[in-house]
Amino acid sequence: MARIVIADDDADIRELVVFKLRHAGHEVLPVADGSAAVEACLADKPDLVILDVMMPGMSGLDAARALRDNPAMSGVPIIMLTARAQESDVEQGFDAGADDYVVKPFSPRELASRVAAVLGEDS
């Protein structure tokens, strides 16, 4: 299956996502902020990145832009997983380079389906 980096400053959300994605057979690397996500991605290119928008230090939007600006990471899909649900927030996520946008609270089953869809897998 896929190697996935998940960045969220909320440990409970990280643990839930890690549990669900590992249960689906993925290798998951959880980190707590955007800069750690960028570092993890550049150290060992993942198949997918899941980013919270609002994190201390580097936001998920800034992390997405940094990843999109790196030629080695340009084709790696990014899913934003965030409580920011306004139309302008969604637009900012896509403008930063997101391939999908999931609003919290979210269904772990729906997230797993969206991960499969972005990765081009049968769910």
Q: What is the pLDDT of residues 70-80, one digit of tens each?
A: 999 989 999 99
Query: Going residue by residue through the chain (123 aa), what tens digit of pLDDT does each one get?
Result: 899 999 999 999 999 999 999 999 999 999 999 999 999 999 999 999 999 999 999 999 999 999 999 999 989 999 999 999 999 999 999 999 999 999 999 999 999 999 999 999 865
What residues make up the domain containing 13?
Answer: 3-119
For 94, how many CA atoms within 13 A lie in the half-sphere containing its CB?
9
Phi, psi of 100 (to 5 degrees): -150, 165
Token output for 2: 């896929």
Q: Is 88 exposed, middle or buried (0-12, 13-18, 19+ CB in 10 A)?
A: exposed
pTM: 0.96
Q: Could you give the number of structural domains in the chain?
A: 1
Amino acid type, 2: A
pLDDT at 23: 95
Check which CATH number belongs to the domain holding 99 and give it: 3.40.50.2300
**Reading across the β-sheet that carries 48-51, which strands appear in turn?**
27-31, 3-7, 48-51, 78-82, 100-103
